[in-house]
Amino acid sequence: MKTFADLQQEVIQKGLCHRCGGCVSVCTAVNYGALGFNEEGYPQYKDVEKCIECGVCYMVCPEAAYEEEAFMKAVGWEPPAGPVLGVEVARAISPEIRQRATDGGVVTALLVHLFKKGMIDGAVVAKRISPFQVVPTLVTSPEEVIESAGFYHDVSAGLQSLSETYSTFAPSFEAMRPAMVEKLRRVAIVGTPCQIHTLRKMQYFNISPSETFYLLLGLFCSGHFNFDEAGRKKIEELGGFKWDEIAKINIKDALIITLQNGEVKRIPLSELEDLKRPACKFCEDYSAEFADISFGGIGAPDGWTSVIIRTPKARGAFADARRKTIEEFPLEEDPKLIDKVLDIVKKASEAKKEKANENKKKCLGNG
Ligand SMILES: Cc1cc2nc3c(=O)[nH]c(=O)nc-3n(C[C@H](O)[C@H](O)[C@H](O)COP(=O)(O)OP(=O)(O)OC[C@H]3O[C@@H](n4cnc5c(N)ncnc54)[C@H](O)[C@@H]3O)c2cc1C
Ligand code: SF4
Ligand code: SF4
Ligand code: SF4
């Protein structure tokens, strides 16, 4: 049985760890303190003697490829962008949600609907405390879901944290602990593709608390960026603005920054490669291929969200929310929009896989 010692050798030391936190969260001996995180958020042995060598941490790691073939078959994975049952371009009906949201507010509107219908009693989301800083949060009401939508700049929090390293990454597994403590029965989880991959593996291997996962909602992801002082300076120079002028952030095919005076700055993602977290350079998943349902802004008109429905469970949930909390884009205005969105997502997925393999060959000597 492979253990955390193998994860250290095969994943962490090679720079492939995404810091999703899955291995620490599922560790059978975590209450003994066998595993923990180091200062940079990477998993590490806290006390190797307490490891009972159960192998669960190795099973769930998205980079460890444990029983990969059987897992991929079970989830019906297909190249290049994972399973696709349907594609939608949609937005929240509520103007309040749309105003707070990153794109069309569909993630928030779907969660609100699931709460109102009693289909979930908790959701793991990320609360933004400044444009580049998010904290994972367990919410238990539609009001709290709406509060955690969006990308708005909190000036006071931003200034307070000016000396810290900003990150767009939210270690969402941390927020699952309160869900376990509160004994929630059905939890929806919003996460990045790497986090969703780990959660799906937990489900596949029946690792607790995956019996409580009701729906896995994935966000498209080009990469997560760390903005330390030098990084922030670079962004200011590239965009020609000051950090504290930022009102809103979005990531589509570029980093899109809206200033408080309404001006919009677009910084090509290719300019930000050196600010990417190291593991993101080797990541092959653009569209959260292991989610029940995935969301992104790419391909959709401004103020709308591109949605990929991947499982029958998500199809049912989305259909039930239609015309209640979610409205679809009027396709008579652009009859080819759905085909275009799918095409763009497939191309972005292929490009991410190619780049990851190139980087792996360059840095690790394999592909
Ligand atoms: C760092 C990052 C990179 C992205 N890159 C791309 C990209 O390259 N291309 C693209 O098309 N789309 C990308 N997206 C997705 C896009 O920004 C929107 O999140 C998506 O379109 C859904 O929009 P919405 O208005 O429907 O969601 P909303 O209704 O605004 O809801 C968004 C939900 O996501 C949660 N959330 C926010 N940030 C995080 C985080 N870091 N980790 C976990 N949960 C979070 C919020 O709490 C909220 O519940 C990225 C998102 C993030 C956070
Ligand atoms: S106890 Fe199990 S899950 Fe925890 S570190 Fe050891 S092998 Fe991994
Ligand atoms: S990728 Fe996630 S599961 Fe794998 S070693 Fe890193 S934190 Fe643990
Ligand atoms: S690119 Fe996104 S999904 Fe991939 S490792 Fe980075 S944060 Fe995770």
pLDDT tens per residue across span 274-307: 888 888 889 999 999 999 999 999 999 999 999 9
- Contact call for residues 275 and 264 (beta carbons, < 8 A): no
Residue with tokens 């490009």: 351
Q: Distance (Å, rounded) from C-alpha 177 to C-alpha 352?
A: 32
pLDDT tens per residue across span 74-122: 999 999 999 999 999 999 999 999 999 999 999 999 999 999 999 999 9
How many residues are listed for the chain in this entry? Answer: 367
Bond prior to 43 in cis (omega within 30° of 0): no
Q: Distance (Å, rounded) from C-alpha 358 to C-alpha 352?
A: 10
Q: Does 325 sit in the ligand 1 pocket, CB within 6 Å?
A: no
Q: Does 130 sit in the ligand 1 pocket, CB within 6 Å?
A: no
Continuous H helices in the chain: 4-7, 22-26, 56-60, 68-74, 95-100, 106-116, 142-147, 155-160, 176-181, 193-204, 229-239, 312-321, 337-364
Continuous H helices in 259-336: 312-321
Average the pLDDT over 325-348 and give the result.
Answer: 98
Task: State the DSSP string of 108-159.
Answer: HHHHHHHHHTTS-SEEEEEEEEETTEEEEEEE-SHHHHHHT-S-B--HHHHH
In angstroms, what is the span from residue 34 Cα to ligand 1's centroid? 33
Considering only CA atoms, which of 276, 283, 256 is closest in space to residue 268? 256
Domains of the chain: 4-66 (3.30.70.20), 86-222+278-364 (no CATH)
In angstroms, what is the span from residue 318 Cα to ligand 2's centroid? 37
Nearest CA to ligand 4 atom 6: 280
Task: Provide ipTM, 2 decimals.
Answer: 0.98
Contact residues of ligand 2, CB 6 A cut-off: 3-4, 27-29, 34-35, 51-57
Q: pLDDT at position 294, please?
A: 98
